[in-house]
Amino acid sequence: MSHVKNDNQLSVLEICAGAGGQSVGLEMAGFGHSLAVEIDHDATDTLRMNRPEWVVHEGDVREVDGRLYKGVDLVAGGVPCPPFSIAGKQLGADDERDLFPEALRLVREARPAAVMLENVKGLASARFAPYRQSILDALDGLGYDADWQLFNSSQFGVSQLRPRFILVAMRRHHFKKFEWPRTQGTPPTIGQILYEPMARDGWAGAAAWARAANNIAPTVVGGSKKHGGADLGPTRAKTAWLQLGVDGKGIANEAPNADTPLGHIPRLTNEMAALVQGFPPNWKFSGKKTSVYRQIGNAFPPPVAMAIGESIATALGVTSRGKAEQDAVLRAVG
């Protein structure tokens, strides 16, 4: 399967792409990348390793000229969350890490049909209502209608809560057709998601462990470089993981094996953490263990990105298989 954008795909300019959680979700929704922008070296290596055909810019979003991508179907990105994170100081627009202004600049320059930006649930709090309205006002001035929506990733088959606050904006005639995706049924449990990698190397206790790990996980954390080493978060999160039979004090180098005792409380490997985030099993990561875990912990779960991407594609009236035909019709009637 080729992953390079072609004329039969919707196109996306993605900023703050990270290790590709949103990227691969949008790909599954039918979007081909015109450009993926990411500042972290290991994350850009991850993108290039998995999708060598993609054009990946390693650098600051501020370096990108949106005019070069005028007419792209979608501008998307997971803009940095520290300005709005509960774990941070919640400086909002006063935080130099706030890249919403840069996203709006790219929208102004590229004039996409649609915009999709995701952030943490902290941005949904009452204290940021004026800031949210300022973004809606700016988009309105550019000719876009927009809406915010808070989702839990578990509503789209991801085995963790991971709330995300999503902004979708579209040109007015498209936005009239936009509907937020319907949420799905009960997500799989951690035991169901991780039984295979837990059992793969011969651990006799894997089946019993999986039966006991009969709930979804707390939010996978650890994406910040200020977080320290690779572990599953603060005490509260570690306690929740322990209730699922997982030692959250660190990340394991290897899965349990035939020599592991039956009642062992395992740690997750990076492979397992990626599965909990909803990455495809064949998605590989570049870098050392802590860097890889940070990439995983920062990610927007692919199933959520795919669901919202599909709703955007539907509102645009085209799919990955139908854009060429749609363009042909437009040329014929034009």
Contact 55, 35 (CB under 8 A): yes
Residues 6+ apart with CB under 8 A from 24: 50, 279, 280, 283, 302, 305
Contact 139, 169 (CB under 8 A): yes
Look at residue 34 and tell me whether its pLDDT is greater than 90: yes
DSSP of 37-68, one letter per residue? EE--HHHHHHHHHH-TTS-EEES-GGG--GGG
Q: What domains are there in the chain, each with its CATH number?
A: 10-184+299-333 (3.40.50.150), 190-297 (no CATH)
Instruction: With cut-offs at 50, 70 and 90, classify the pLDDT of residue 116.
Output: very high
pLDDT of 268:
98
Which stretch of DSSP H or E encloses residue 136?
helix 129-141
What beta strand segments (E) does 209-311 contain?
A: none
Structure token digits, residue 217? 């996980």
How many whole angstroms separate alpha carbon 270 and alpha carbon 323? 37
pLDDT of 3:
45
* pTM, 2 dp: 0.88
Look at residue 254 and tell me whether its pLDDT is greater than 50: yes
pLDDT of 264:
98
pLDDT of 227:
53
Share of the chain above pLDDT 90, in %: 77
Look at residue 100 and tell me whether its pLDDT is greater than 60: yes
Residues 6+ apart with CB under 8 A from 137: none
Answer yes or no: 81 catalytic.
yes
**Average pLDDT for the chain:** 89
pLDDT of 231:
83
81, 158, 166, 275: which is the annotated catalytic residue?
81
Question: What angle do the packed helices 41-50 and 289-297 form, to 10 degrees?
Answer: 80
Residue listed under structure tokens 């709930």: 215
pLDDT of 260:
98
